[in-house]
Structure formats: C-alpha cells, structure tokens
Amino acid sequence: MIRIAIPTDDEQNVAPHTGRCRGFAVYDLEEGKAVKVEFRPNLFTAHHLAHESGGQHQHGHGHSHAGILNGLSDCQAMIAVGMGRRLIDDLRAVGMRVFYADEPGLQSVAQKAAAGELKEIPLDAACRGHQHGQ
C-alpha cells in the first residue's frame, strides 16, 4: 500500500498552490485502486494563515517546511499541480515522491496514481516565482 497526499481547497479538485491549500486529501493506493482515507486541514504552515486572512505570506530565509513534512509523514507521495523547488527538495529529502496532477479532479488523479499513470515533477518544473520559497 502507498499513501498519497493531494493539496485541495474544496475536497473535489487539486489546489493550484500546494503551500496555500486549505488541506490535503489523503488516499491509500492498493491493488490499482485509490481509496480516500481522510481530509487533513492545512494547519502545518504559515501559508494557511495568510490564505485564511486574505493576506500575503512573505518567504524568508527562515522559512521551513517542517510542519508539512511532519503532518504528512505517513505519506509516501504527493500529487500537485506544481510547487516551489524548495518544497520538492524537502519532500524528496524525507523520501516522498512528487507527481504532477494532469487534471483537476482529486478522485481521478488519485486513480491515475494507483494505476501508475502519473509522471514525477522534475525540479525544472517548479512553480515560477516560487524557486526561493514555498
């Protein structure tokens, strides 16, 4: 079994910005099937506070992904539209694989992951403007 996390704002679609999502849909992939386990609110990062208040989060040198890494430590992979290079690096450093969501629907993307149909996000595909942050 593989457990994956998918950032989402509405529990139906993949969120456009991983760090600022409202939460993560967590799925278990086993025998070619994807089963949703739970929704985890994004209480892991300062990004969710900026998102909730409508403000902007400023990236600084002390920016850490420890909260998100700890909050999703039971997951072996993440599927996203895109994310900054630092987050990709940090996820990979703890053994998580990072895959590209090629369509918006959570269940459909999770099922494609279960079928082995998604590609990993290369570092050069990190979100423009987020190379130094996220």
At residue 47, does pLDDT exceed 70? Answer: no
d(CA 102, CA 80): 9
Q: In 10 A of CB 92, how many CB atoms? A: 14
Residue 67 lies in a domain: yes
If one compares 115 and 18, the residue with the highest pLDDT of the two is 115
Residue 130 lies in a domain: no
pTM attached to this predicted model? 0.82
What string of DSSP letters covers the chain?
Answer: -EEEEEEESSSSBB-S-GGG-SEEEEEEEETTEEEEEEEEE--SSTHHHHHHHT--PPP-TT---HHHHHHTTT-SEEEES---HHHHHHHHHTT-EEEE-SSSBHHHHHHHHHTT-PPBPPGGGSPTT-TT--
Residue 132 lies in a domain: no
CB-CB contact of 84 with 92 (8 Å): no
The percentage of residues in the chain with a pLDDT greater than 70, rounded to a whole number, is 77
Say which CATH number the domain at 107 has.
Answer: 3.30.420.130
Total number of domains constituting the chain: 1
* pLDDT band, residue 133 (cuts 50/70/90): very low
| Domain residue limits at 120 | 2-125
